[in-house]
Amino acid sequence: MASNKQEWIDAIKHLRLHFSLLLMPVFLFAVSQLPEIDYRIISLTFIILHVLVYPASNIFNSYYDRDEGSVGGLRCPPPPNNKMLWLANILDASAILLSLSIHQSFSILVSSYILASRLYSYPPIRLKKYPIIGFFVIFIFQGAFTFYLTRYSLLHWHVNATNLYGLQVNTILPMLSSSFQIGAIYPLTQIYQHKSDLADGVTTLSYKLGYRGTFIFAGIMFGIATLFYFLYFSATDINDFYIFTVVQMPIIGYFVYWASKVWKDTQYADYKHTMYMNVIAAVILNLFFLYLVLT
């Protein structure tokens, strides 16, 4: 039996802090499209999302999944323990309390994200076991909802009926871009876990689509995301879209390379190639949106 100290160390490993950084492109995109930047609010929002909420979601999910094989951002996960649930609760509570320092309505948005994340993993409900519902939970909350939440925190919008909670055309297009971008990556993160997910009672979208279908679906999602980026940037600064098109070439190149290998032999639909895909996409998109923030 592991010592108390070792259990806490194992629990911290399950936070997968580095993996939460792979979700940063949506946050940076939202920040980059603001007319003015309040660095205090940006810092608070970043901490709430990437240091508290996302890691708490990771560890909560791992606690109930009881993963024995590789999981996103953790090749050899340590065995789960009760400290994981304690840590998830502490982080989520901290996120809600910290969000109150920005605005009460912002804390409601953060709480909504946390609730969706928990319903996604909590066994009596476990939305992730339904391929379509599970997909849309991630599609909405890690994409459009996160973009909106970030933008909301930084603009200090107040809820009122006249502006549809701030949902104007110049907000909806990048929200859709963000969701379809997440929609392209999400099934690819499931592609190496078909057997383990089925053994855990989870039928993923990637399993339903099959190996080849997963790549086709991801390509369609990526194409739609690019269309919405074009529509948005053509109304703001088309040069940003041209730069975006160029910098994403390595992402497309690796995607085609990996798809061609899986097309011939499904053994390449493995953890290593999935993480390469995630890291390449995240690093390039993070750098692009950081460039937009700084210019």
Q: What pLDDT digit, counting tens, does each position of 156-180 carry?
A: 644 443 344 555 667 899 999 999 9
What is the third-level CATH fold of 4-294? Farnesyl Diphosphate Synthase (1.10.600)
Q: pLDDT tens for residues 18-59?
A: 777 888 999 999 999 888 888 888 899 999 999 999 999 988
DSSP-assigned letters across all residues of 127-196: GGGSHHHHHHHHIIIIIIIHHHHHHHHHHT----GGGGGG--HHHHHHHHHHHHHHHHHHHHHHTT-HHH
Tell whether the model's pLDDT for residue 95 goes beyond 80.
yes
Q: How far is CA 143 from CA 140, 161, 173, 231, in A?
A: 5, 23, 12, 17
Phi, psi for 90 (deg, rounded to 5): -65, -45
What span, in angstroms and rounded, lies between the C-alpha atoms of 54 and 292? 24
Higher per-residue confidence, 226 vs 22: 226
| Beta carbons of 79 and 104 less than 8 angstroms apart | no
Higher pLDDT, 62 or 133: 133
pLDDT for 154? 77
At CA 242, angle to CA 238 and CA 248, rounded to 5?
135
For residue 24, what are the CA distances in angstroms to 74, 162, 210, 236? 18, 31, 28, 22
> What is the pTM assigned to this prediction?
0.89
At a CB cut-off of 8 Å and minimum separation 6, what does 32 contact?
289, 290, 292, 293
pLDDT digit string, tens, across residues 260-275: 999 999 999 998 999 9
Q: pLDDT of 103-125, one tens digit each?
A: 888 899 999 999 999 999 888 89
